[in-house]
Amino acid sequence: MRRVSIPRSVAAGAITSTAALVLAVGSSVPATADPSSTTMEFQVPVRHIAGCIPGLFVCVSVPPLTTVTPTATTGAPGEVTFAATPPTRTWTGLSGCLDVTVHWLNLTTGASGAATLRPVPYDYSRPYTPDNWCRYIPATAVTGSGTIAASADIGAPAPGAYQFLVTPGVGIIPVP
């Protein structure tokens, strides 16, 4: 009997395709609390660790695991506005509020693109409150109507900092 091997890239592609199909078809978790709403959270949030390099800057503590949940709001037909909730924990040093990049693919038409969610610049003229730290500016993408598969990751850290992406965000969005 002859042994047949499958290339790793084929196996990885099959696993990724199966995971996307399971998310699209078999998700038992409701996307939003309000069924009439057109805003939905990504089914898998972005998780990362970011901090500063000891010796270059004073590192206050060990950087935490940070979770950012991207959202998608369908507005006009063929348009999606991507946003993100503030991180669950932030590193208050240089790398605390990283850009979030959403890569999208319209599975119906084949159109693709990316949208970058940048942090809102902090207003130092007012007293610091935790609610004002690390909010994101929404970005609108013209995706066309159909089913949108989206993945999200984090941007580059500040000089003298590091980051590790633990899990990219993943979402399936129906766009009218």
Residue 77 forms part of a structural domain: yes
Q: Report the alpha-carbon distance of residue 16 to residue 154 in Å, rounded.
A: 20
54-63, 116-125, 137-146, range with the lowest pLDDT: 54-63
Res 99 pLDDT > 50: yes
Annotate 37-46 with b (16+ C-beta within 10 A) or e (fewer).
ebebbbbbbb
Res 30 pLDDT > 60: no
Report the domain count for the chain.
1
Could you tell me the residue range of the domain that residue 75 belongs to?
37-175
Please check whether residue 144 is in contact with residue 78, taking contact to mean a CB–CB distance below 8 angstroms.
yes
Please check whether residue 141 is in contact with residue 79, taking contact to mean a CB–CB distance below 8 angstroms.
yes
**Over the chain, what is the mean pLDDT?**
76
Residue 124 forms part of a structural domain: yes
Residue range 107-117: mean pLDDT, rounded = 96
4-18, 108-122, 124-138, range with the lowest pLDDT: 4-18
Residue range 143-160: mean pLDDT, rounded = 89
Q: Starting at the edge strand that comes first in sequence, how are the strands of the sheet with 139-142 ordered?
A: 39-41, 70-74, 79-84, 139-142
Residue 119 forms part of a structural domain: yes
